[in-house]
């Protein structure tokens, strides 16, 4: 763990002193990128996040030579870690053979076969450039299939930023056909579906916000398929994060459900940008050119299943087949929960780590100790999503960065099969030291 002094010097001053190169790049970047010099909203941090030069396995390094254990892992895409040799080799070889043929090619078929092997519900497969495109197409397919327009979604579930899948009410977003209801309320779902107006009901795989910051009640999820079919609505699971991260069959295989449509992204491409909608042949037949014009869905797209991405996807999916990467990441998640929760308890800080291969940090009231430590210690969504915690999490995030641990706002620690027990030990040590720093400076309080 990188040592931090906090002796007379403020954390921000110390961070700036140890990141002079990143500060220079930040000063250049703010002239271009309106989001405080960043190209992604999650990378906004006062004073600035580090500028990274390279990454390997579980680690990455910045322009000043600082090393980080990466607990973001390509926004969840890198279950195999950075630059897995099999993916690197596949991409390098394919790059030399051609990025884009503008023609059919063997790799797209081979990739689709691997996906179907792992996820039998993938009767048909359609590739896209990213996860949110996949969700947008799922909506269109459902509309064409049902002849309805409306979309039923759940609070806190993330599906992308375009009009109908963005957080409603945020600037520039107005989608009157979208209805958003609380999670895990079956009566409310039935009340809405019974209106027989909804084309699609959308659910984020694993729970809201990166695989389950707000978890689903399993009985609720198992009831959704029956309810959706009863009222003629297409049930969609967005497994952009969880597909091929939780298990070879995706999160749906772990809870034993089969949706009508599934969105894949992130891990399915081995770390390169990708999306795929997979599911029922009768719904996806809308792509078939023999379908009558009024039910025929067109799907152009420059980047659909280009050879370079297929090569990475195939290399990664071959490694997913035996479930070993997922098992290792799950075990490391359990170890991080166990050791990290000791750190919180020793300091009498009200909070818990929970989750699976993505471990979430709850900071706030503990309503009960769940017997299953993958679950948060409260069922109250307001306590889990409490906006008052955002600055505290941001402060913790800076403390952790200064100690060599990269997270986004300490909402979660994304693990991979490339992480090791030693990485977790270092992360836990840094977590304890960061919390001690915050207790000393008074930015977090121990419970009374």
Ligand X SMILES: Cc1ncc(COP(=O)(O)O)c(C=O)c1O
Q: Are 4 and 437 in contact (CB under 8 A)?
A: yes
List strand residue ranges (DSSP E) for 160-233, in order. 178-181, 198-204
Of 146 and 203, which CB lies nearer to ligand X in the complex structure? 203
The residues in 111-130 that bind ligand X, with binding defined as CB under 6 A, are: 130
Residue 43 interacts with ligand X (CB under 6 A): yes or no: no
Question: Looking at beta carbons only, is 313 or 432 nearer to ligand X?
Answer: 313
CA–CA gap between residue 433 and residue 399 (Å, rounded): 9
Distance in Å, CB of 275 to ligand X, minimum? 6
Question: How many whole angstroms separate alpha carbon 334 and alpha carbon 321?
Answer: 22
Question: For residue 271, what are its two tokens?
Answer: 């770390």
Strand, helix or coil for residue 354: strand
Question: Which of 241, 385, 389, 417 touches ligand X (CB under 6 A)?
Answer: 241
Binding string, 52-81, against ligand X, x = CB under 6 A?
-----------------------x------
Residue 265: CB minimum distance to ligand X, A? 5
Per-residue binder mask for ligand X (CB under 6 A), 165-204, x = binder: ---------------------------------------x
Q: Which of residues 239 and 285 has its CB atom nearest to ligand X in the complex?
A: 239
**Interacting positions 123-162 with ligand X (CB under 6 A):** 130-132, 135, 158-160
Q: CB of 30 within 8 A of CB of 36?
A: yes
CB-based contact 254:205 (threshold 8 Å) = no
* Smallest gap from residue 387 Cβ to ligand X (A): 20
Interface with ligand X (CB under 6 A), residue from 50, 57, 212, 265: 265
Report the DSSP beta bridge partners of residue 353. Answer: 361
* Alpha-carbon gap, residue 114 to 314, rounded angstroms: 7
Q: Any contact of residue 259 with ligand X (CB under 6 A)?
A: no
By DSSP bridging, strand 275-279 and strand 198-204 are unpaired
In the bound complex, which residue of the shown chain has the CB atom lying closest to ligand X? 131
Q: Which two tokens stand for residue 261?
A: 């449509």
Residue 110: enclosing H or E segment and its boundaries?
Answer: helix 106-118
Q: Cβ closer to ligand X: 359 or 430? A: 359
Contact between 249 and ligand X by CB under 6 A: the answer reads: no
């Amino acid at each position: 763990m990188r040592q931090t002094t906090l002796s007379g010097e403020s954390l921000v001053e110390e961070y700036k002193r140890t990141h002079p190169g990143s500060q220079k790049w930040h000063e250049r970047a703010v002239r271009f990128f309106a989001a405080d010099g960043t190209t992604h909203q999650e990378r906004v941090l006062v004073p600035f996040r580090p500028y990274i030069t390279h990454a390997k396995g579980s680690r990455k390094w910045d322009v000043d030579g600082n090393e980080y254990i990466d607990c973001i892992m390509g926004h969840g895409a890198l279950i195999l870690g950075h630059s897995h040799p099999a993916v690197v080799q596949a991409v390098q070889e394919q790059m030399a053979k051609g990025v884009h043929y503008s023609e059919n090619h063997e790799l797209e078929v081979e990739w689709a076969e691997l996906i179907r092997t792992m996820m039998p519900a993938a009767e048909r497969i359609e590739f896209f450039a990213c996860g949110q495109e996949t969700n947008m197409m799922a909506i269109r397919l459902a509309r064409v299939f049902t002849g309805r327009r409306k979309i039923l979604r759940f609070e806190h579930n993330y599906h992308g930023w375009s009009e109908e899948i963005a957080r409603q009410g945020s600037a520039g977003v107005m989608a009157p056909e979208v209805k958003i209801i609380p999670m895990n309320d079956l009566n409310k779902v039935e009340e809405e579906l019974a209106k027989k107006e909804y084309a699609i009901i959308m659910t984020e795989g694993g729970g809201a916000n990166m695989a389950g910051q707000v978890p689903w009640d399993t009985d609720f999820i198992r009831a959704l398929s029956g309810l959706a079919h009863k009222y003629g609505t297409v049930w969609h699971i967005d497994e952009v994060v969880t597909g091929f991260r939780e298990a070879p069959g995706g999160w749906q295989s772990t809870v034993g459900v089969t949706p009508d449509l599934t969105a894949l992204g992130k891990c399915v491409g081995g770390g390169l940008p990708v999306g795929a909608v997979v599911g029922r042949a009768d719904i996806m037949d809308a792509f078939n050119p023999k379908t009558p014009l009024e039910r025929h869905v067109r799907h152009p797209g420059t980047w659909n299943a280009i050879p370079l991405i297929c090569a990475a996807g195939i290399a990664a999916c071959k490694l997913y087949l035996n479930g070993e990467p997922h098992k290792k990441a799950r075990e490391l998640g359990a170890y991080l929960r166990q050791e990290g929760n000791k750190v919180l308890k020793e300091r009498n800080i009200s909070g818990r780590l929970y989750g699976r291969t993505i471990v979430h940090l709850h900071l706030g009231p503990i309503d009960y100790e769940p017997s299953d430590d993958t679950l948060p210690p409260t069922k109250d969504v307001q306590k889990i999503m409490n906006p008052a915690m955002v600055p505290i999490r941001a402060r913790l995030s800076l403390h952790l960065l200064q100690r060599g641990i990269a997270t986004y706002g300490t909402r979660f620690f994304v693990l991979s099969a490339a992480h090791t027990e030693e990485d977790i030990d270092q992360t836990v040590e840094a977590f304890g030291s960061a919390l001690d720093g915050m207790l000393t400076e008074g930015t977090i309080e121990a419970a009374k």
